[in-house]
């Protein structure tokens, strides 16, 4: 293409006719975007299958590198680069949104020029709340809204010139995609976690088909649960069998304590509830309720999810957040026996400090603990020796433990999670009237109910060791309970405050075991050994991670591919009947409630589609009436596996052809993708550190265990890009004013406060500056469309990439964009005459200085691009460009190298210049320049001569100079001579060829 234009950048200007103006930039960009699309330039060939060649008939541009590459074998080296895919919100993009997309595009284009087969595509995460809420308001089906939003977003992003393979784009709402999401769900449903199985990577404990478990149950190798004692597998009804299997399935329906959010009308996963007990979306109160819901047994994988973080090339911060969330902690279960009205009961506690067992002085159970009711059965009055403070709040006026505890439990359950956490620190509780026997010394310990112990962690019961646990210490102090030191080391005494540090065990012995004198770690080991030998406990590991609540009471999500028979037994839908599509409904909204109505229950919009819910099917048991599941999957389902579908978007037989998964994602021990395999580069915001990234790792490991994928992790390298933020301004009333109309008054200028920084005015009135998100409500939004119109996409790309390190957040500054534009204008001028439009480069060889600078730039820019530092790469390109500007004539060799190196960040202008330089095909597959090593070696280097660390002189020396020669030369310099003034140096440090330091 050769774009000729006489358009000017503005009406009143007389710019030269071939200047690189925004108008010219736009013309070039649109033309190249069309050409790329028509030629299929960025279509990445698969090694096998329907995408192994380029779009049939569409591609006549055989001259393009992509087509040439496809004709030959697929490159052996693949590079799979991905963005966390967008939710098409319809609100419109601002200049911050494309940051990550540009970054992956730059890296992808660079790697493509390095000869790799680069796969880069973008799909849409299209199920979810905004489209549903819009549907609720307007009655328009969310599918229509979603399609419209996707179309708008596609157009906006296309204008950026992203090198995506358009054939591989999809939305999670596409029926074919939903089909495979449901298929994977059924794979998980049909699997159980066999703790004794070995995974393909050698780890212990792996997913296996449930059919294997059925075989073992039928053969009696695995015992039935206690409820079915005396019966055999063959005796059980189908419903009973399913109940047995549900205890093992990786996806199962169960009555579980869930986070119920009346304001949203749905239940939420733990990860979707904020630390202060509110919904992440909408910020509504959340209550704990027991409800029948789908759950995924992610906790089975807790160990592997922790262990496999190590080999991943991820930011340490994200790894730490995942480790923290999983919260693995090693300790012991210890059995205490409790006498109740109904007889002896076991109270098992979890502790990370079994070495402090001898220091236990009381017990605490969570208000929801099942033992509570048993303890209260007796209804006996308080014993005479029970202090008043143990009897609960005076207001309750309870004269029996049962009444006091019930009042306390009721009060605790009425609290929202938020209230419960707000009260943390103030320890409250009530004595239950019961006692537990400490297995190490037979002491009777009073059992309290207190809400500082959580039912959701460990066993929901603890042994309290006030001397060595701060929480127990606070409670013991408040309730007058004894504090007994069993680990030495407290500086101020344990009566004063708990000692949780290291020390030596004291007062910790019975007839069979003594911990006295042992350090903490040894003492733990000794007591666990004793507990295990005597059957009173065992070493164990627990996790903070909870199983994943997987159902939502919403319309716009994937339906569950199961039905229930007349007995309420879950029956999976056969694979050939997938996908299960959503029914048409009149009302898309779940029933929502008053945000504080804890007693309400969820009611899904699907439950009203009775024709759909009640269905006659033949599922191999004859025609029967079944009931469908009226929940839908959470928004995370599609994003748990979408990265596999880009590889093989049209596969009708599997979510992905295993051969393609191996080629694009397979492990490369010692190579780029390491032993884990996975996507080569995954870029997105840190906000997904635990949610999406943990869930998809879990699904991936199940697919790995079942043999569907060869990689054991989905994402080998993860990169978190920063955010683009912006200044906003408020006037005296606190109302936002348009940021682009605010004027800055320099510090020290007339009228400015000399001591403060710069001040700001809007229409002459002072305004206050604040910093934060970009958005319409703050009147500081700048859109990509604004940038295309004012500068063109290339300038916008260069500016975004040059603002600073990719992983840092940065402030948008529109007035600084002109720097990027000047760079590209100068680049243009170095190749093309602004007056005639003709190419001005000459074929003469570059002078030595230019050749060296070109070589140096190639070497540096290659390093910077490869390390994802486009900001420093651009700085070096600008340096070379400025050097070429200073030459009377630009040599072709230098210009071509520069154009190729600019291509990843500013692809349109680079293609245009490349074309004008006489090349017929796109530079997208052109080899990235390689520096001539001979030119990288400096002829002379500057050696710094220091005396006592201060620079006193400089020498121009050969890089190969020896230490001795250099030392002699340095000592002879006038600078050294002057400072030393005849004295003999004590030491001379020589770091040839760069530095000599003389120590006088």
Partner RNA sequence: GCCCCGGUAGCCCAACUGGCAGAGGCAGUCGGCUCAAACCCGACCCAGUAAGGGUUCGAAUCCCUUCCGGGGCACCA
Binding residues for ATP: 776
Q: What part of residues 716-735 is at the interface with RNA (CB under 7 A)?
A: none
DSSP 916-979: HTT--S-GGGSPPP---HHHHS-SSEEEEEEETTEEEEEEEE-TT--HHHHHHHHHTSHHHHHH
Instruction: CB nearer to RNA: give 350 or 698.
Output: 350
Q: For residue 80, what is the enclosing H or E element?
A: strand 78-83
Residue in 151, 307, 454, 749 binding RNA, rule: CB under 7 A:
454
Nearest to 684 by CA among 692, 674, 675: 692
The least distance separating RNA from the CB of residue 365, rounded to whole angstroms, comes to: 9
Q: Which stretch binds RNA (CB under 7 A): 457-465, 594-602, 613-621, 909-917?
A: 457-465
Query: How many residues sit in the footprint of RNA (CB under 7 A)?
Result: 90
Instruction: CB nearer to RNA: give 330 or 567.
Output: 330
The least distance separating RNA from the CB of residue 277, rounded to whole angstroms, comes to: 9
Q: Which stretch binds RNA (CB under 7 A): 252-260, 560-568, 920-928, 949-957?
A: 949-957
Q: Residue 43 corresponds to which tokens in the numbers above?
A: 């279509």
Quick one: CA torsion of 910, 915, 921, 926, rounded to 10 degrees?
A: -40
Q: Which stretch binds RNA (CB under 7 A): 145-153, 160-168, 351-359, 696-704?
A: 351-359
Rounded distance between C-alpha atoms, residue 101 and residue 123, angstroms: 12
Interaction between residue 999 and RNA (CB under 7 A):
yes
The least distance separating RNA from the CB of residue 56, rounded to whole angstroms, comes to: 45
What 3-state class would DSSP assign to 268?
strand
Q: Residue 712 corresponds to which tokens in the numbers above?
A: 């054991």
720 burial via Cβ count (<10 Å: 0-12, 13-18, 19+): buried
Q: What part of residues 880-909 is at the interface with RNA (CB under 7 A)?
A: 882, 885-886
The least distance separating RNA from the CB of residue 455, rounded to whole angstroms, comes to: 7
The least distance separating RNA from the CB of residue 424, rounded to whole angstroms, comes to: 4
Interaction between residue 444 and RNA (CB under 7 A):
no
Sign of the dihedral defined by the CA atoms of residues 296, 302, 304, 307, in that order: positive
The least distance separating RNA from the CB of residue 484, rounded to whole angstroms, comes to: 15
Q: What part of residues 809-868 is at the interface with RNA (CB under 7 A)?
A: 809-811, 813, 815-816, 818-823, 825-826, 829
Sort residue 707 into left (φ over 0), alpha (ψ -120 to 50) or beta.
left
The least distance separating RNA from the CB of residue 936, rounded to whole angstroms, comes to: 12
Instruction: CB nearer to RNA: give 236 or 969.
Output: 969
Interaction between residue 331 and RNA (CB under 7 A):
yes
Q: What part of residues 539-568 is at the interface with RNA (CB under 7 A)?
A: 542, 544
The least distance separating RNA from the CB of residue 413, rounded to whole angstroms, comes to: 14
Residue in 444, 533, 954, 978 binding RNA, rule: CB under 7 A:
954
The least distance separating RNA from the CB of residue 897, rounded to whole angstroms, comes to: 17
Residue in 353, 645, 697, 717 binding RNA, rule: CB under 7 A:
353
Rounded distance between C-alpha atoms, residue 318 and residue 726, angstroms: 25
Interaction between residue 768 and RNA (CB under 7 A):
no
Residue in 888, 949, 974, 982 binding RNA, rule: CB under 7 A:
949
Instruction: CB nearer to RNA: give 412 or 924.
Output: 412
Rounded distance between C-alpha atoms, residue 385 and residue 458, angstroms: 32
- Residues at the binding site are 776
Instruction: CB nearer to RNA: give 289 or 471.
Output: 471
Interaction between residue 456 and RNA (CB under 7 A):
yes
Residue in 423, 522, 547, 963 binding RNA, rule: CB under 7 A:
423
Q: What part of residues 16-45 is at the interface with RNA (CB under 7 A)?
A: none
Interaction between residue 207 and RNA (CB under 7 A):
no
Interaction between residue 393 and RNA (CB under 7 A):
no
Instruction: CB nearer to RNA: give 109 or 829.
Output: 829
Q: What part of residues 666-695 is at the interface with RNA (CB under 7 A)?
A: 686, 690
Residue in 115, 327, 583, 775 binding RNA, rule: CB under 7 A:
327
Quick one: CA torsion of 747, 752, 753, 756, rounded to 10 degrees?
A: -30
The least distance separating RNA from the CB of residue 191, rounded to whole angstroms, comes to: 27
Rounded distance between C-alpha atoms, residue 192 and residue 194, angstroms: 6
Nearest to 925 by CA among 3, 39, 81: 39
Rounded distance between C-alpha atoms, residue 237 and residue 228, angstroms: 11
Rounded distance between C-alpha atoms, residue 21 and residue 28, angstroms: 11
Q: What part of residues 365-384 is at the interface with RNA (CB under 7 A)?
A: 366
Instruction: CB nearer to RNA: give 410 or 811.
Output: 811
Pairing of strands 995-999, 941-947: parallel
Rounded distance between C-alpha atoms, residue 518 and residue 57, angstroms: 79
Instruction: CB nearer to RNA: give 245 or 945.
Output: 945
C-alpha separations of 376 from 306, 335, 454 in Å: 41, 20, 20
Rounded distance between C-alpha atoms, residue 775 and residue 782, angstroms: 8
Instruction: CB nearer to RNA: give 733 or 950.
Output: 950
Interaction between residue 805 and RNA (CB under 7 A):
yes
Rounded distance between C-alpha atoms, residue 136 and residue 165, angstroms: 35
The least distance separating RNA from the CB of residue 991, rounded to whole angstroms, comes to: 5
Instruction: CB nearer to RNA: give 227 or 426.
Output: 426
Q: What part of residues 973-992 is at the interface with RNA (CB under 7 A)?
A: 987, 989, 991
Contacts of 73 (CB under 8 A, 6+ apart): none
Q: For the chain, what is the radius of gyration of the CA atoms?
A: 35
Contact pattern for RNA over residues 75 through 114, marking x by CB under 7 A = ----------------------------------------
Residue in 321, 513, 839, 958 binding RNA, rule: CB under 7 A:
321
DSSP 546-573: --EE--BS-SSSPBPSEEE-TT--EEEP
Interaction between residue 15 and RNA (CB under 7 A):
yes
Q: Residue 885 corresponds to which tokens in the numbers above?
A: 């500007």
Interaction between residue 279 and RNA (CB under 7 A):
no
Nearest to 817 by CA among 799, 803, 797: 799
Residue in 804, 837, 958, 965 binding RNA, rule: CB under 7 A:
804
Interaction between residue 498 and RNA (CB under 7 A):
no
E-strand stretches of 685-837: 718-720, 724-730, 736-737, 743-745, 759-762, 765-772, 810-811
Rounded distance between C-alpha atoms, residue 242 and residue 249, angstroms: 10
Instruction: CB nearer to RNA: give 47 or 537.
Output: 537
Residue in 191, 915, 946, 973 binding RNA, rule: CB under 7 A:
946
Q: Which stretch binds RNA (CB under 7 A): 100-108, 667-675, 929-937, 944-952?
A: 944-952
Nearest to 106 by CA among 920, 932, 861: 861
Nearest to 249 by CA among 544, 620, 637, 547: 547
E-strand stretches of 279-428: 287-296, 329-340, 343-351, 362-365
Contact pattern for RNA over residues 909 through 938, marking x by CB under 7 A = ------------------------------
Residue in 790, 944, 958, 971 binding RNA, rule: CB under 7 A:
944
Give Cα 62 to chain centroid, integer Å: 40
Residue in 317, 533, 763, 978 binding RNA, rule: CB under 7 A:
317
284 burial via Cβ count (<10 Å: 0-12, 13-18, 19+): middle
Q: Which stretch binds RNA (CB under 7 A): 91-99, 659-667, 799-807, 848-856?
A: 799-807
């Amino acid at each position: 293409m050769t774009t000729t234009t006489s358009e000017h950048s503005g009406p009143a200007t007389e710019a030269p006719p071939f200047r690189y103006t925004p108008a010219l930039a736009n013309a070039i960009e649109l033309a190249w975007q069309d050409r790329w699309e028509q030629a299929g330039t960025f279509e990445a060939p698969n090694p096998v299958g329907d995408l192994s060649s380029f779009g049939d008939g569409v591609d006549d541009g055989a001259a393009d590198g992509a087509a040439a590459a496809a004709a030959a074998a697929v490159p052996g080296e693949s590079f799979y680069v991905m963005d966390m895919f967008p939710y098409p919100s319809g609100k419109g993009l601002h200049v911050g949104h494309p940051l990550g997309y540009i970054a992956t595009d730059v890296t992808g284009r660079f790697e493509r020029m390095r000869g790799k087969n680069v796969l880069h595509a973008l799909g849409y995460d299209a199920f979810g709340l905004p489209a549903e809420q819009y549907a609720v308001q307007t009655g328009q089906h969310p599918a229509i809204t979603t399609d419209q939003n996707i179309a708008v977003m596609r157009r906006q992003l296309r204008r950026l010139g992203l090198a995506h393979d358009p054939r591989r784009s999809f939305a999670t709402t596409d029926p074919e995609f939903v089909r495979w999401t449901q298929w994977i769900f059924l794979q998980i449903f049909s699997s159980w976690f066999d703790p004794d199985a070995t995974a393909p990577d050698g780890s212990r404990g792996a997913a296996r088909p449930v059919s294997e478990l059925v075989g073992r149950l039928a053969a009696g190798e695995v015992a039935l649960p206690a409820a079915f004692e005396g019966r055999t597998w063959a005796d059980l009804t189908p419903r009973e069998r399913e109940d047995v299997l549900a205890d093992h399935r990786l996806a199962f329906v169960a009555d579980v304590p869930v986070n119920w959010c009346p304001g949203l009308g749905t239940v939420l996963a733990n990860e979707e509830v904020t630390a202060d007990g509110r919904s992440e979306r909408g910020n509504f109160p959340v209550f704990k309720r027991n409800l029948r819901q789908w759950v995924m047994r992610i906790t089975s994988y807790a160990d592997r999810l922790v262990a496999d973080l190590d080999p991943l090339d991820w930011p340490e911060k994200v790894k730490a957040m995942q480790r923290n969330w999983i919260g693995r902690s090693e300790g012991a279960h210890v059995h205490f026996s409790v006498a109740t009205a109904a007889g002896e009961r076991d109270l098992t506690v979890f502790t990370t400090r079994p070495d402090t067992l001898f220091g236990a002085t009381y017990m605490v159970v969570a208000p929801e603990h099942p033992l509570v009711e048993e303890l209260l059965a007796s209804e006996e009055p308080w014993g005479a020796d029970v202090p008043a403070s143990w009897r609960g709040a005076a207001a309750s006026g309870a004269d029996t433990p049962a009444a006091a505890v019930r009042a306390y439990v009721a009060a605790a359950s009425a609290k929202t999670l938020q209230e419960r956490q707000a009260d943390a620190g103030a320890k409250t509780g009530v004595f239950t009237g019961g006692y537990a026997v400490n297995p190490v010394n037979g002491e009777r310990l009073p059992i309290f109910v207190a809400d500082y112990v959580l039912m959701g962690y460990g066993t929901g019961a603890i042994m309290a060791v006030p001397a060595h646990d701060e929480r127990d210490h606070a409670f013991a102090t408040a309730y007058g309970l004894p504090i007994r030191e069993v680990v030495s080391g407290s500086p101020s005494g344990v009566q004063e405050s708990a000692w949780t540090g290291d020390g030596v065990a004291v007062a910790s012995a019975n007839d069979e075991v003594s911990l006295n004198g042992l350090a903490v770690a040894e003492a733990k080991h000794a007591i666990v050994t004793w507990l295990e030998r005597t059957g009173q406990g065992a070493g164990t590991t627990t996790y903070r991670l909870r199983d994943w609540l997987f159902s939502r009471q919403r319309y716009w999500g994937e339906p569950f591919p199961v039905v229930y028979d007349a007995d309420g037994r879950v029956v999976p839908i056969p694979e050939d009947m997938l996908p299960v599509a959503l029914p048409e409904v009149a009302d898309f909204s779940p029933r929502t409630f008053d945000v504080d109505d804890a007693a309400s229950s969820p009611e899904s919009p699907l439950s009203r589609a009775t024709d759909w819910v009640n269905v006659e099917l033949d599922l191999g048991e004859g025609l029967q009436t079944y009931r469908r599941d009226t929940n839908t999957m959470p928004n995370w389902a599609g994003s748990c596996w979408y990265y596999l579908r880009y590889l093989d978007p049209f596969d009708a037989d599997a979510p992905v052809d295993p051969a393609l998964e191996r080629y694009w994602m397979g492990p490369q021990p010692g190579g780029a993708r390491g032993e884990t395999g996975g996507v080569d580069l995954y870029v997105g915001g840190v906000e997904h550190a635990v949610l999406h990234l943990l869930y998809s790792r879990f699904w991936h490991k199940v697919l790995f265990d079942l043999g569907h994928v060869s990689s054991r992790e989905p994402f080998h390298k993860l990169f978190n890009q920063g955010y683009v933020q912006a200044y906003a301004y408020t006037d005296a009333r606190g109302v936002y004013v348009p940021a682009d109309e605010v004027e800055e008054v320099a510090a020290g200028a007339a009228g400015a406060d000399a001591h403060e920084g710069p001040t700001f005015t809007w229409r002459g009135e002072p305004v206050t500056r604040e910093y934060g998100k970009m958005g319409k409500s703050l009147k500081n939004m700048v859109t990509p469309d604004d940038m295309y119109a004012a500068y063109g996409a290339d300038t916008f790309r260069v500016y975004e990439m040059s603002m600073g390190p990719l992983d840092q957040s940065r402030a948008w500054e529109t007035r600084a964009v002109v720097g990027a534009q000047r760079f590209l204008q100068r680049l243009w001028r170095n190749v093309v005459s602004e007056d005639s439009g003709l190419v001005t480069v000459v074929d003469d060889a570059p002078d030595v200085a230019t050749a060296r600078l070109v070589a140096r730039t190639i070497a540096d820019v290659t390093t910077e691009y490869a390390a994802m530092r486009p900001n420093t790469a651009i700085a070096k390109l600008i340096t070379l460009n400025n050097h070429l500007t200073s030459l009377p004539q630009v040599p072709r060799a230098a210009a071509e190298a520069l154009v190729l190196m600019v291509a990843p960040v500013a692809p349109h202008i680079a293609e245009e210049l490349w074309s004008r330089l006489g090349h017929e095909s796109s530079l997208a597959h052109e080899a990235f320049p390689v520096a001539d090593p001979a030119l990288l070696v400096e002829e002379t280097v500057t050696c710094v001569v220091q005396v006592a660390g201060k620079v006193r002189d400089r020498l121009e020396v050969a890089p190969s100079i020896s230490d001795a020669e250099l030392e002699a030369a340095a000592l002879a310099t006038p600078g050294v001579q002057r400072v030393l003034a005849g004295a003999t140096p004590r030491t001379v440090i020589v770091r040839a060829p760069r530095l000599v330091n003389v120590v006088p």
